[in-house]
Amino acid sequence: MPLIYGRPIGRCLPKLGAARPTAALGRCLPLSRPSCRPAIALSNTTWRGYADNRLDLPGLDLKWRQKWASMRLGSTPAAPEAQMSDASQTKYVLPMFPYPSGYLHLGHLRVYTIADAVARFHALRGSNVVLPMGWDAFGLPAENAAIERGIKPATWTKSNIAKMKEQLDLMNGSWDWSRELATCDPGFYVHTQKIFLRLHAEGLAYQKEAEVNYDPVDKTVLANEQVDANGCSWRSGAKVEKQNLKQWFLRISEFRESLLNDLETLGKDGAWPERVLAMQKNWLGRSLGATIKFPILAFNQDVKAAVEVFTSRPDTLFGVQYLALASTHPTVVELAKQDPELQAFLDTLPGLPPDSKVGYMLPHIRAVNPLAYHEETPEATKKSLPVYVAPYVVGDYGEGAVMGVPGHDVRDHAFWKQHHYDEPVRFVLAASEDETTTVIPNEPFIDHGIMTQHSGLYKGKSSKEAGKILVSMLKAAGLAEQIEKWRLRDWLISRQRYWGTPIPIVHCSSCGAVPVPDEELPVVLPEVDDHWAGAKTGNPLESLTEWVDTTCPKCAGPAKRDTDTMDTFVDSSWYYMRFIDPHNEDAPFSAEKAEALLPVDLYIGGIEHAILHLLYARFIYKFLMTSPPVSHEGKAGADTYEPFKRLITQGMVHGKTYSDPVTGRFLKPDEVDLSNPTNPKVVATGESATVSYEKMSKSKHNGIDPAGVIAQHGADATRAHMLFQAPVSEILDWDGDKIVGVTRWMGRLYDLVVRLGGTSAEPLSISPRAYFENGTKKLASMSPAELAQWDADCSIWREVQKTIVSVAASYEKVYTLNTVVSDLMSLTNTIGAKASAANEGLQAEAVSALVRMVAPITPAFAEECWSVLKPGADSIFKGEGALFPVVDSTLALLHPRKQTCAVQVNGKLRFVVDIPKPPAGVKGDDLREWIIAELLKTEEGSMKLTNGSVDAKVAKKVIVIKEGKLVNFVL
């Protein structure tokens, strides 16, 4: 991709003393330093202007990317494999790898900027950093694009990878491309097939016929997790249909206890976000409860004697007012054979959302509450119950049956009101014994509480206690059983599509499902050029007889290959493990590499992957870490097997949108008049447009091309702005107009570098710590001019030490990366403000620390600054040892001699001035007199406290607050 140069970013300052050479506008590297220092000192005011040198940030990007390439340095070089054996010195930082759509968006730019900045920080701290990049390259979008364009999915995917790789390089990332992988590469998916066969050998991969979610547009099966709340496909948006097909599953349920229990480990010290932990816990969905039998009364119907219902709230049994069955419940399936109306109702269900309140009441059939057989049960509970077929009942959870308790369940309440709006809801629990604080009328009470009068003998009892008694009583009668249920279902991985990992199984009429032998792997996707050229839909593997027909590895008889491919989540469930050993042809990775590099230290990605990807990755990691050859070796002997030590979830990036205030329609760029940016108008009507920030999309016309932003402002300014605008976890409202604030700061910092770099400033001959230790001993004998320099020196170095602590902590925490930029801006201002008074050698030390702290965020800019400060030095990212600054314990020596005093007259602030700190032990009237005397010694105090209108000497009262930090003269 050609680099588009933006205009150079810089400010022009009137010449101060000796002239500085001005670089030509068209040059990439307009960074020649002045041959001599300014003849006069920069004042606090003049320092804020740009130097005459123009700072061409896009030019710096190109210069340093070329230099890094020549040094084979992505700025955080891949450490030699031998060094990786020391896990304590290694940091594995990983952003979630992208789908190769061909275009990076600002969301990509944000997550990869975060990852790169953190990786560079750890590299500067002396760690061996692993920061790989790869491509989640299989999946439906590529196949659909191939059909639309008449080209191979592989051709489309490889082209997109090449484009996105160029775009990634434009952002000055430090990816270790020697570890690059693509999941569509047979060299990768051969190991996906080997992992599948390992699972198969352990009985954890199996095939069964099941009701599945079928996408009629993409013509493939979807897992439950890939169907939204409206019953639509997550990918195509089509209404999902239910079909019975023979499918492959992975038995993730075998690991459910570990997946749930280890969430506690992941939650320690905030390693994983609470929100993600809650979502995973809810998806696993362990419920402790009971199955309860409801006897059935049927008139001339062939049904079972009872319907079993699972409930986690047996304390609400007295409140059951109906039963609801799933459409797949055996009783419903049997009755539909003789009831055309029921069958017609079932035929409508695939087009309804799962939370639909429609229902079909089964005729000639009623249920009986098992508590009805107890003589003390209230009459209302003894009444027979209607039985419905309802779409909100899930067939594969519990027993496919629900006991409807309108008084104590939100969904049951809504269903009952839909079908029995004129019948009262029975409340059998209350918040208190007198039932006066239960709920808002007509709303269900869903908490535990106290049993009401509708609970017969149990009135007044705690509902938790009553629930246990009821289950025990019904269990003795053979009507209940205590049981544990899970929401988690085994992972359906079969997809009826071409562009995915082939399932390495052949089907033999004699031997059944037989694994493909290891020596015949990979099972490679065949070429089906005619399929794409003809823009055909469906799975071409099913009709490719020359590929399907094969021989059975067991009996050598005729057999057929499995024509399903794997869900792409199988690829992403283990890709992070392949990065540690990407060139291993014999195994997915070696035990030695796993010992050295796993688990991932820091994993960064969107909250949208909180359930699917992360849950599947945890499952596969647990399986592989407890299987040969990794099991019982080093780390793998630990009690907990989790793939990601720490998880960072970044917020989305929203773009500015303009909409018509009358119609609400989103406006295209040419439909908005931005001649006055503070008051955008609708071109067609002249009305002020409504401005908001929304998720970026084509329909809202608010997408931003990162390459364009980088071309105009440079990658480093874009990165810094990206991090500065919002905390990592929060939504970022992108406003490109504000990047200019970051570039101005970078310009001020560069001014300091040019002024102090190389031989421009006399370097300190000793360390800053020794400098301040020596100065402390001489304080008593210093002249006023020397004391002024001492105060400026202390102010700068005190700010440096505090900033090192704050910035290092933010890089470690990650979520507060936005404060890194603000802290460094503040430090830049402090150094600049004290420039005329402070020792230049100390200023150079401070700027050196500043450049090393900003380097992870603005790598090319930092490299240029470093080359000016340290002519002839290696890359800032290639230096021996740790280059990130550390505190030097000088803070104890840097107590300010002066303090800021705010002066009020009659409660109104008049001026602020620096005065000496009061001597120890001076209090009361003595302190007041001392403060007044010091204020009058200052130029501002002498002028403003001794004139005709304000005379401090005749003040009625002088109030001193906080040991002189605030003084109020009452006249």
Whole-angstrom Cα distance, residue 444 to residue 425? 9
SS3 of residue 808 by DSSP: helix
Q: What is the DSSP letter of 899?
A: E
Model pLDDT for residues 157-216, shown as the tens digit of each residue: 999 999 999 999 999 999 999 999 999 999 999 999 999 999 999 999 999 987 778 888
SS3 of residue 579 by DSSP: coil
Whole-angstrom Cα distance, residue 60 to residue 31? 9
Give the 3-state secondary structure percentages of the chain, helix then strand then coil, rounded to 5.
Answer: 40, 20, 40
- CA max distance for the chain: 115
Whole-angstrom Cα distance, residue 5 to residue 712? 7
Helices marked H in 360-462: 379-382, 410-419
* Crossing angle of the two packed helices 859-869 and 57-70, in degrees rounded to 10: 80
Cα 810 from chain centroid (whole Å): 17
Question: In this predicted structure, what is the pLDDT of residue 86?
Answer: 56
Residue among 830, 770, 833 at smallest CA distance from 802: 830
Q: Please enumerate in sequence order all residues whose Cβ is within 8 A of that of 830, keeping only pairs 6 or more positions apart, or say none.
A: 795, 796, 799
Whole-angstrom Cα distance, residue 54 to residue 520? 62
Backbone angles phi, psi at 225, to 5 degrees: -70, -15
Whole-angstrom Cα distance, residue 78 to residue 92? 11
DSSP letter string, 825-884:
HHHHHHHHHTTTTS-HHHHHHHHHHHHHHHTTTSHHHHHHHHHHHSTTPPPTTTSSS--S
Check: CB of residue 463 under 8 Å from CB of residue 470.
no
Whole-angstrom Cα distance, residue 887 to residue 929? 39
Model pLDDT for residues 832-847, shown as the tens digit of each residue: 999 889 999 999 999 9
Mean pLDDT in order along the chain per 10 residues (971 residues): 34 32 32 34 35 75 93 52 61 96 92 97 95 95 88 95 94 95 97 97 93 79 71 78 87 96 94 95 92 90 85 95 94 91 88 82 94 91 95 82 95 94 92 62 86 92 94 94 91 93 96 96 94 83 94 95 96 97 95 94 93 95 88 51 95 91 89 90 91 85 89 96 95 91 96 87 89 89 90 94 97 96 97 92 95 97 94 84 88 84 90 86 86 88 80 83 89 84
* Crossing angle of the two packed helices 739-756 and 818-833, in degrees rounded to 10: 40
Question: In this predicted structure, what is the pLDDT of residue 301?
Answer: 73
Q: Please enumerate in sequence order all residues whose Cβ is within 8 A of that of 292, keeping only pairs 6 or more positions apart, or say none.
A: 308, 309, 310, 311, 314, 317, 370, 403, 471, 474, 479, 480
Radius of gyration from C-alpha coordinates of the chain: 36
Q: Please enumerate in sequence order all residues whose Cβ is within 8 A of that of 834, keeping only pairs 6 or more positions apart, or say none.
A: 792, 793, 795, 796, 843
Instruction: Please state the pTM of the whole predicted model.
Output: 0.83
Question: In this predicted structure, what is the pLDDT of residue 78?
Answer: 43
Backbone angles phi, psi at 206, to 5 degrees: -145, 165
Question: In this predicted structure, what is the pLDDT of residue 435?
Answer: 57
